[in-house]
Amino acid sequence: MREGGVSLARGAKRVRIARGAAVVGIFVITAGLGAACGPSRVTECNEVTGIVNGGLKKLEESSAKADATKDEKIAYLRSMAATMDQVAADLSKAKTTITELKSFSDKYQTLAKGVAQAARERSEAVDASDVQKDEKARDALDKLADQEAPIVNSINDFCKGG
């Protein structure tokens, strides 16, 4: 993503990634920043959006295994958990000095940690062939997906100067 340029998509584009029978939405964040924004805002927005979009790219690259064999599904869910844990860790290290952007980053970190936990629980359920635990983890992923849009839209609006 270039400073003040366009990232993977325009606006908040929802990319649905299959998780077996469940679907979790991951939103592409854009950094369509105008010239009126100060360099700190541009830099901080680019860092936050770059981290989230990097995690999305990793998930997209491995999503073909979401409906594969049991072993591949387990590996994919574990990979998803690791990716989302990394997104949360990277966001926590990002230099966000702007209070509003920091708040959005914190909310996304919480979301990412929740997705990671639910993905781990789902991988354990699939491994143990525990249908009830699998359904519970799938429901948790669905609820988290619903929480993501407002956070991402807020980040996009803030970074576009809206």
**pLDDT tens digit sequence for 115-133:** 999 999 999 999 999 999 9
Q: In the prediction, which pLDDT does 28 show?
A: 53
Q: Which of 21, 100, 15, 20 is nearest to 52 (CA)?
A: 15
Beta bridge partners of 18: 23
**pLDDT averaged over every residue in the chain:** 79
> Where along the chain do its domains lie?
13-155
Q: Low-confidence residues of the chain, pLDDT below 50?
A: 1-27, 31-36
Q: In the prediction, which pLDDT does 15 show?
A: 39
How would you classify residue 33: left for phi > 0, otherwise alpha for psi between -120 and 50, otherwise beta?
beta
Distance, CA of 75 to CA of 53 (rounded, Å)? 21
pLDDT in tens, 135-159: 999 999 999 989 988 998 999 999 9
